[in-house]
């Protein structure tokens, strides 16, 4: 009989295939004590398993298809680094030698101890690190026990066209899924910000995570449908259900083919208004994907990754290298480098700042506030951005502004560095635009004040919505309140756009709302003419823009902004579509 299970959709699309269930990770860990003479051979076995895991990853990295996203190699390199760390084996070796645990048992104990420390933290970045630790340790365990997705006998045949089910999947498994022709995946655990989910999205494999207790209901070999749009797994589908999902798959395939034709097409609305479409990137290598889809520049380059996973601050040269790579990669297109947005949901090694997180990190010493207090973190970055401006059209963007003075202080620092560079004959662009993010509600209300001192503004809806609606963006319990259509939020966006128009200061949007197709027509209606979005959604946004009559949605949006009648507002939003 047809049944459905629900989870969190993390990678869009529909997959239909036979279930392939991966063995439970922990089932085979035998808890046995070893004899004295076996100690050194057990230690050697553990070391060999670590090396085998590393070798396996190295081979996988060498086989990465040329068209794979660049972050695939970066994920594998992170895991290789962990495997190369000599402290990884220290505690398990002590357990083998002193308590005579067998290697798998000793390793599992240490994995559980580390993971439980991470489990007590509720920071999403640290949680991602927890997943990395777990995946690396599980990889060694599999090597010790001789089982893995890669080494399952005849795996390639059985995985071709299959829907993979596992407790959790490592980023490396996501890559193997692509190699083996897996069409979709379902896991019991994991979250939308896990590296595996991010990779699956980049690789275009539909997937659902967090389908708790699914193992009880699923059987290997039975037909499954993964609806990666809605987060639904359908088991044993009847003919009607199957036909429905096949139709949706065909529609999606036709739609993707049409989208690809838009890559080089100009971005204009149906009634001829030109709109700018830029890309959000995090790693310089992400820009390959952005260029593929014809982005007109980088509207947001998040630089926090430069500060992560290290106990010391990045040097001016490290910053400059990263910016130089990006500017070269985009050859002539504008690049918006956002200065460090550390703090809040983007925590770094505590050794870097020696300041506590505070009780409410999102309201604490984050982004520009931290930058102005910690010149050793901030100034090398400013200097590098200014130097990079000599290489191409670079713009500097300041995150989380709440006072105009913060923007003025940064401009003052920029002027000081430029004067020093002039004296030292170091090249830079004296006209480099300096802009700011509008992501704190008061900055939207006072956008005219910010437009007065800045060269451009960019609306960060992720934070603007978080701060306006008072919902922690990483708290699962209140995520349901996250609503880009909230009338108050729409008014804040509209105020910012109008202030920009009046002051003739360009305003773009780089928050997730810009890449949400449900909002595109409304944003055009509010007067947004520059969207910065993830490369994977750029063509879809372009398609909606091409189908929209800007004149019509502007009139409707203007009425929507003014009305205080919720029923009328809903009707107008529906009409905008
Ligand atoms: C935003 O807040 O909308 C934004 C783009 O910045 P981040 O998501 O990096 O905080
Ligand atoms: Mg933000």
- For a mutational test of ligand 1's pocket, the pick from 336, 367, 462, i.e. the residue with the most ligand atoms closer than 8 A to its C-beta, is 462
> Which pLDDT does position 470 carry in this prediction?
94
**Structure-token pair, residue 272:** 């001829």
- Among 194-198, 301-305, 550-554, the range with the most confident prediction by mean pLDDT is 550-554
Torsion-angle region of residue 331: left (phi > 0), alpha (psi -120 to 50) or beta? left
Residues of the chain with CATH 3.50.30.10: 3-23+151-260
Mean pLDDT of 56-84: 75
Given this model, what pLDDT does residue 546 score?
Answer: 96
User: Residue 328: is its pLDDT beyond 60?
Assistant: yes
Alpha-carbon gap, residue 134 to 153, rounded angstroms = 24
Mean pLDDT in residue range 204-216: 86
Which of 102-106, 141-145, 320-324 has the largest mean confidence?
A: 320-324
Q: Residues 66, 71, 74, 78: is their CA dihedral positive or negative?
A: negative
276-576, CATH topology level = TIM Barrel (3.20.20)
Instruction: Give CA angle at 22 (18, 28), nearest 5°.
Output: 155
* Minimum CA distance residue for ligand 1 atom 6: 460
Best residue among 511, 519, 534 to mutate for probing ligand 1's pocket (most ligand atoms within 8 Å of CB) is: 511
Task: List, for residues 428-478, the tens digit of each pLDDT value.
Answer: 999 999 999 999 999 999 999 999 999 999 999 989 999 999 988 766 577
Q: Residue 267 — pLDDT band, cuts 50, 70, 90?
A: very high
The pTM of the full predicted model, rounded to 2 decimals, is 0.69
Question: 434 Cβ partners below 8 Å, 6+ apart?
Answer: 395, 396, 397, 398, 407, 410, 411, 414, 454, 455
Joined tokens for residue 169: 């999947």
Q: Alpha-carbon distance 147 to 141, whole Å?
A: 9
Q: How far is the CA of 167 from the centre of ligand 1 (A)?
A: 31
Q: Which helix (H) or strand (E) holds 567?
A: helix 566-576
What are the DSSP calls for 523-557, one per residue? HHHHT--EEEE-HHHHHHHHHHHHH--HHHHHHHH
Q: What separation in angstroms does the CA of 188 have from each of 22, 163, 380, 440, 443?
A: 12, 14, 44, 36, 41
pLDDT of residue 172: 64
**530 a catalytic residue:** no
**Range(s) within the chain of domains with CATH label 1.10.274.10:** 36-144
Architecture of the domain spanning 3-23+151-260: 3-Layer(bba) Sandwich (3.50)
When pLDDT is cut at 50, 70 and 90, the band that residue 142 belongs to is confident
Rounded Cα–Cα distance for residues 380 and 250 (Å): 51
Average pLDDT score over residue span 492-510? 98
Q: What is the mean pLDDT of residues 161-174?
A: 80
Which residues touch 17 (CB under 8 Å, ≥6 apart)?
Answer: 161, 162, 163, 182, 183, 184, 223, 224
The whole-angstrom separation of Cα 539 and Cα 294 is 8
pLDDT tier for residue 151 given thresholds of 50, 70 and 90:
very low
Residue 92 has pLDDT above 80, yes or no: yes
Neighbours of ion ligand 2 (CB under 5 A): 439, 460, 463
Residue 484's pLDDT is: 92
Start-end of CATH 3.20.20.60 domains in the chain = 276-576
In CATH terms, is domain 36-144 a member of 3.30.565.10?
Answer: no
- For residue 195, indicate whether it is catalytic: yes
For residues 144 and 167, the answer to whether their CB atoms sit within 8 Å is: no
436 C-alpha to ligand 1 centroid (Å):
12
Higher pLDDT, 112 or 527: 527
At 153, the pLDDT band (50, 70, 90 cuts) reads very low
86 versus 568: the higher-pLDDT residue is 568
Please give all residues whose beta carbon lies within 6 A of any atom in ligand 1, as ranges: 300, 302, 341, 439, 460-463, 510-511
- How far apart (Å, rounded) are the C-alpha atoms in residues 103 and 31? 10
Cα 108 to chain center, whole Å? 29
At 155, the pLDDT band (50, 70, 90 cuts) reads low
Token digits of residue 118:
């991470």
pLDDT in tens, 502-554: 999 999 999 989 988 999 999 999 999 999 998 878 999 999 999 999 999 99
Neighbour tally for 147: CB within 10 Å = 16
Residue the block writes with tokens 């830029």 = 278
Distance 233 CA to ligand 2 centre (A): 33
Region 249-265 average pLDDT: 88
More confident: 209 or 339: 339
User: Distance (Å, rounded) from C-alpha 132 to C-alpha 135?
Assistant: 5
Active-site residue, from 267, 510, 519, 530: 510
């Amino acid at each position: 009989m047809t049944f459905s299970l629900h989870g969190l959709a993390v990678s869009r699309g529909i997959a239909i295939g036979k279930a392939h269930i991966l063995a439970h990770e922990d089932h085979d860990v035998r808890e046995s004590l070893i004899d004295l003479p076996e100690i050194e051979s057990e230690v050697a076995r553990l070391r060999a398993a670590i090396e085998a895991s590393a070798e396996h990853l190295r081979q996988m990295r060498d086989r990465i298809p040329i068209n794979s996203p660049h972050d695939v190699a970066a994920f594998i390199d992170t895991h290789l680094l962990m495997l190369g760390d000599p402290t990884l084996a220290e505690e398990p070796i002590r357990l083998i030698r002193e308590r005579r645990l067998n290697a798998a048992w000793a390793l599992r104990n240490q994995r559980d101890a580390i993971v439980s420390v991470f489990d007590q933290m509720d920071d999403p970045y640290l949680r991602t690190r927890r997943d990395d630790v777990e995946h690396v340790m599980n990889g060694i365990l599999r090597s010790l026990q001789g089982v893995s997705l890669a080494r399952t006998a005849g795996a390639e045949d059985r995985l071709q066209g299959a829907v993979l089910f596992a407790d959790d999947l490592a980023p490396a498994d996501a890559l193997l899924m692509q190699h083996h022709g897996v069409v979709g995946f379902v896991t019991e655990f994991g979250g939308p910000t896990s590296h595996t989910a991010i990779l699956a999205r980049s690789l275009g494999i539909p997937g659902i995570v967090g389908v708790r207790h699914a193992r009880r209901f699923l059987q290997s070999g039975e037909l499954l449908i993964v609806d990666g749009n809605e987060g639904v797994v359908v088991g044993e589908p009847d003919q009607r259900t199957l036909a429905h999902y096949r139709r949706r798959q065909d529609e999606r395939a036709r739609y993707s083919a049409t989208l690809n034709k838009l890559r080089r097409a100009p971005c204009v609305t149906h009634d001829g208004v030109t709109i700018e479409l830029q890309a959000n990137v995090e790693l310089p290598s992400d820009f390959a994907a952005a260029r593929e889809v014809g982005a007109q520049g980088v509207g947001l380059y998040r630089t926090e990754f430069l500060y992560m996973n290290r106990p010391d601050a990045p040097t001016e040269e490290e910053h400059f290298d990263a910016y130089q790579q990006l500017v070269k990669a985009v050859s002539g297109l504008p690049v918006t480098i956002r200065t460090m947005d550390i703090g809040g949901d983007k925590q770094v090694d505590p050794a870097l700042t020696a300041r506590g997180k505070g009780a409410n990190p999102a309201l604490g010493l984050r982004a520009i506030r931290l930058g102005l207090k910690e010149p050793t973190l901030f100034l090398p970055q400013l200097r590098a951005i200014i130097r990079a401006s000599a290489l191409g059209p670079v713009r500097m963007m300041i995150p989380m502004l709440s006072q105009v003075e913060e923007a003025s202080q940064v401009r003052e620092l920029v002027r000081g560095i430029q004067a020093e560079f002039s004296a030292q004959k170091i090249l830079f662009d004296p006209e480099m635009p300096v802009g700011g993010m509008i992501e704190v509600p008061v900055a939207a209300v006072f956008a005219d004040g910010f437009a007065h001192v800045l060269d451009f503004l960019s609306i960060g809806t992720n934070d603007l919505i978080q701060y306006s609606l008072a919902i922690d963006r990483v708290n699962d319990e209140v995520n349901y309140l996250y609503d880009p259509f909230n009338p108050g939020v729409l008014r804040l966006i509209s105020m910012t756009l109008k202030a920009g128009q009046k002051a003739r200061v360009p305003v773009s949007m780089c928050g997730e709302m810009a890449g949400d197709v449900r909002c595109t027509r409304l944003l055009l209606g509010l007067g947004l003419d520059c969207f910065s979005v993830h490369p994977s959604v750029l063509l879809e946004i372009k398609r909606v823009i091409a189908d929209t009559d800007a004149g019509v949605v502007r009139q409707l949006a203007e009425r929507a902004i003014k009305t205080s009648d919720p029923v009328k507002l809903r009707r107008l939003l529906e009409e905008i579509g």
